[in-house]
Structure 1
Amino acid sequence: MTQELSGSGTPMPAPSGRSAITPAQPARPSRIPRAGLLILAMAGFTAVTTELLPSGLLPQISRDLGVEESAVGSLTAAYAAVIVITALPLSRLLGGRMPRKTLLIVTVLAFALSNVLLAFSPDLPLAIAARLLGGVAHGLLWSSMAPYVARIVPAHSVGKAMAIVFSGNSIALAVGAPLGTMMGSVLSWRSSFLVLAGIAALLALLAVRLLPPASDADRDSAPSLRAAMALPGVIAVATAWPLLLLGHFALFTYIAPFLLAAGLPDNATGISLSVIGVASLVGIWIAGLTADARPRGSVLTGVALLLASFALLPALGGTWAGSLALLTLWGITFGAAGIYNQAAILRAGGEHKDAANGLAVVTIQLGIAVGAAYGALALNTVGALFVPLAAAVPLAVALVIIFASRHRGYPAGPRDVRPSRSPK
């Protein structure tokens, strides 16, 4: 799926008794390092739970720090803003100079430190400073993790490896954030972040032993964002993928008022969020089976079904049966779409995959931020019941981009192409 990085030009003759390749790089692996991928999945779980947890603990944090709940919202806003500002520059600076395994371990330790500082913050300014450190770690993690994975697995197994790693995101949504919120309600919000810090510290220790070294053949040069942006496939994926997230978060952020407007009871919101989170795990599993063999057909089918689920929600979302069926379809297709697009950006980036992935991280965060604002605009203009239709618009645009990018951004895989029939 992804291309191996290779040197250009003719090698210089080696001195007597020494290899012509200096320094020696780890050979391309012949099988998937599952233990290492599980560590990365847990790192993703920790990152996403860290990002989401302040929203669930907002009342407790507000009371403890003695500030308004709206002010506590700055913990989430600051986290997202620093990702947009720092993800690309830091990934370019450190990604080209620090071994990839070391960078990931340092990033996970930064999560631990961020959560410890937050747990012991006596006031809001120090809490925001702690969250800024977490945001920096978040941007670095997602900028560096996918290119690292692409270097430690066989080329034909990148999609399956991404499915394992990104399962941590959905588990955080379905289990991590709710459990952390429950712990904060029973004990204290500070205890939730201390537990997260302990998990991150343990993961960093395990990563030292279980993460395999990655090829650092290109470590002496910083990733070239300009070269990555010159590739049409990169621009296509870095546009379509954020549009999918924009549509998702436009509805996801305001799913509670939609469900109420559709006629479902108050407890439908918690159930619906769990359904989407669990269903996304199914989507990730499906993507792991199809992302390498049928990348184009799979992503087109998934996005089309996601669009259909949003379009049908206003009409069928007023009953438990219709709502749960469409929410399940939403979760499956959205979970799968993340894997398909992650594999696509690495494939499109080629030898500039690090910079291409960093660009995608930034545009994704912008898509999430704009999605929440777009959902609020739709809520105030067309009403809660029709927010899914407004959210379907960016999905339709993304589907058009994916369909049009058949040669570069979203090319066919080995089993996408039907064998031609021999003439009779």
Structure 2
Amino acid sequence: MSAPAAHPMTPVLERADRADGLTARLTAVRRLAALIQERAIELEEAAVTALPFPRSVIRGDIALAVRRLEAYGSLAERLDGRHPLGTVALCLPGNAILSNPAATTASSYLAGNRTVLRLPRRRAYWADTVAGLLREAFGPQLELRHGTGASFIQGALEDPGIQAVMVFGDDSWAKDYEAAARRTGTTFIFEGPGKDPFLVLAGADPVQAARAAVAGAFHNAGQACTATERVYVLRHLYPRFVATARAAAAALTPGHPADPATRIGPLDEAGADRVLRQLDEARATGAELLPAGSPWPVRIHDRRMLVIPPVIVLGADHSMSLLREETFGPVLPVIAVDSAEEAIELAEDSPYGLAATVYGGGPNVAERLARSHGEVFRDETWLDRRRRGPVGPYGGRRASGWVWETRGGRFVHRDGPRLNVLEFSRPANSDRTNRAEPDMEA
């Protein structure tokens, strides 16, 4: 009797090897969480020294990094039957503290990839601190590269050994790399800014909604990508909403930019100039500004910065840059509307579509906004959702996020919410691991 062939066992052995490898990688991710927790005080002091953020924001982001990494067991389950892409290049954002670099790198690592990483060199001391943590956890699977962001992205797209490139930034320059991605067949993942709408409709409690809008809008001086930047309130709810929002914003006024009790921090010169330009234009065209205080200059790490206390803007409209452009500052425009339909149409009237929030209203409101935005939060904010589920999907539509990738031998564009461990992996028998045929028309 002949011996049985060995090959029928191969898939079983491969699955076992993959499971063992995934378990080891999950252990490393949890080790990173433990390292951050063990060194939280040291990391906080280093970040306060190096970064222009309030201590409370830094402390909260370090804690969020731990919570996100500790929740990666649920992401490991999503990788069952999936394979790594190979090598993933990450160009991380300049406004990130720790949770974004740690979680994005961990997602690539957990999926089984080798990761090529560029951290912003503008804050070199903090970049080196973060890099040391990631190296300690992930070892030789992590390669750090320096140079400009532009040279890193272009080089990664041209490198045949890199299967996917992920960048954070602005669609106005990120879309310039689409041609290179199409020409080389490299998966290109873009995570962009938002101009998130907040709708307060029939059935909403205007006091609860106002407090939630203020918390979301002014978190980290309004510099979170998913901060509320446009509020549409039914006219009969408008007076109570505005009164509550004004009182809540005034309570956030900081006594000092490094005060641990505040979430309002300084803006750099470019950011402050953008915010002040938008506010000046709004005032000149008839809007009413309700500032919680007067701006004042500070110098942090030899950089001139400006603290702008929370500002609520009444009477704004969509002809203003305040409603058309990203603000990325502590400003909350509030617009009275006559109907849910008017609120939805205004929410959709934007090139951005990262997320939306709806208080009150019927289920059809969220369903419709989901077609123009990424996630839609109902009767809660992105901050509430992040507290409950720190590793949920992310990514929007239109100028707020998109992907170019190989599907069925073709290079295609898509948008919508995404989960990074799935973006950095592929199903069995998928062609996502290979580059597409070069697009000669790119």
TM > 0.5: no
Query: Which structure ranks higher in relative contact order (CA pairs < 8 Å, sequence separation ≥ 6)?
Result: 1
- In terms of Rg, which structure is larger? 2
* TM superposition score category, shorter chain reference: under 0.3
Report the TM-score, using the length of structure 2 for normalisation. Answer: 0.26
Q: Normalized per residue, which structure has more strand?
A: 2
Q: Normalized per residue, which structure has more helix?
A: 1
